[in-house]
Amino acid sequence: MTDLNQLERDLLTQVEAAGDEAALETVRVSALGKKGSVSELLKTLGTMTPEERKERGPLINGLRDKVQGAITTKKDTLAEAALEARLSAERIDVTLPVPEAPESRGRIHPISQVIEELTAIFADMGFSVAEGPDIETDYLNFTALNFPEGHPAREMHDTFFLAPDEKGERKVLRTHTSPVQIRTMMSKAPPIRVIIPGRTYRHDSDQTHTPMFHQVEGLVIDKQANIAHLKWILEEFCKAFFEVEQVKMRFRPSFFPFTEPSAEVDIQCSRKGGEIRFGEGTDWLEILGCGMVHPNVLRNCGLDPDEYQGFAWGMGIDRIAMLKYGMPDLRPFFEADVRWLNHYGFRPLDIPSLVSGLTS
C-alpha cells in the first residue's frame, strides 16, 4: 500500500513538472506504456490469489485512472498555454486599416484619370480620340488655324520656339492641341467626330498656369453640324463630368481666329463656404471656349465651306480636374510628390465608366 502511494505521488509530480507535450509523453510512456511502472503492476494481477486481487486490484486500477486523468488534464493545460502564447505573439490590431492588395497599390494621376473620364463620356457620344506630335510646324500651329502674322500667340513671350532647322524653319512646342484638328481634317474625309487630349506648352507659370499643361479639344465636321448640336454636346458633357442632374450654361461672344462665331462658355455654380458646387447657385464660372469652325480653316484643310461646316471647343484638362476634385494649386500636379499623389490620386482598378460611375 505504501509503495502504491509513493508511486502515485512520484508519477503525479512528474506529470505536473512536465513543461511541454514531449516531456508529458515521456512520463506517460514510463507509467502507462507497455513496460511502464503502472502497466507492470497491472500484469501482476493475473498471478494473485482471488483475495489479493480483490484487495489490490481496485488500488492499482485507481492508480492507473488517476495518472491517466492527470496526464489528460496536463495535456489540456499545455495546449491552452501554447494557444495563448501563439495568440499573444500573432496579435492583430483590428483598428488598423487593412493592407491594400498588391494589385491595388499605386495611384493613377488625376490628369490621367480625367482623360479617361473625358474619353468615356465622349466615346458614348460617338467620338474617337485623335493624337498628334508635341513639336509642330508654324503652319499647322498658327497659319492653317487662321492666325495672322503678328498675332500675340506667335510672340516669344507666349510660345516656345525651337532653333531653326537646316531649311531655316523654326518649329514650336504646340501652344494648343488644335494642330491635330488640322491633321485630322487633312487626312480624313467628313463626317468627323474626334476629341484631342494632349500636352501643350506656353511660356507662363503661376498658381493656375504652368509652362506645360493639358488640353482637350473636340471637333465635329459634317454637312449639317450647327450651334444647337454644340450646345447639346457641351451640356451633356458637363452633366456627366461633374456628375450633376442638370446644369445651366451661358454663351458669351468672344474671339478666336479659328472659329466664327466664337463664344466663351460659363456654367452655373455655387461658391458658398469656399467650395464650388455645380448645377446649383447663382454664380457663373468660365470653363471653355468654342465656336463654329472658320471657313478659312476649312479651306486650308481642303474642305469646301459651302458644303461642309462644323464646330470645335477646347478646355484645360488641369483646370477642370482642379474644379472637380478641389485642388487649389496647379503646380503640385507636376512636382512628383508621392504624398500628394496618395491623397489626390485614384486606385488603379477604378476605371471610369458611364455605367458604374466616373468616380465610383
Are 201 and 175 in contact, with CB atoms under 8 Å apart? Answer: yes
b/e per residue, 88-122, with b = 16+ CB within 10 A? eeeeeeeeeeeeeeeeeeebbbbbebbbbbbbbbb
How far apart CA 351 and CA 360 sit, in angstroms, is: 9
Binding residues: 260
Q: What is the pLDDT of residues 261-319, one digit of tens each?
A: 999 999 988 888 777 888 788 889 899 999 999 999 999 999 999 999 999 999 999 98
- pLDDT of 4: 75
Amino acid 132 reads G
The full DSSP string for 285-302 is EEEEEEEEEPHHHHHHTT
Q: Which residues contact 309 (CB under 8 A, 6 or more apart)?
A: 221, 222, 223, 225, 226, 292, 293, 298
Binding residues for Mg(2+): 260
Question: What average pLDDT is seen over the chain?
Answer: 87
- pLDDT of 189: 93
Does an H or E element contain 225, and which?
none
- pLDDT of 355: 65
- pLDDT of 293: 97
- pLDDT of 357: 64
Give the CATH superfamily of 110-344: Bira Bifunctional Protein; Domain 2 (3.30.930.10)
Tell me the whole-structure pTM to 2 decimals. 0.69
φ/ψ of residue 334, rounded to 5: -120, 20
- pLDDT of 269: 86
Which of these, 230, 221, 210, 184, lies nearest to 305 by C-alpha position?
A: 221
List the chain residues with pLDDT less than 50: 1
10 Å Cβ neighbour count for 255? 12
Does an H or E element contain 96, and which?
none
How far apart CA 212 and CA 287 sit, in angstroms, is: 19
- pLDDT of 360: 57
- Please name the residue that has the C-alpha cell 500500500: 1
**Strand, helix or coil for residue 146:** coil
- pLDDT of 307: 96
- pLDDT of 273: 74
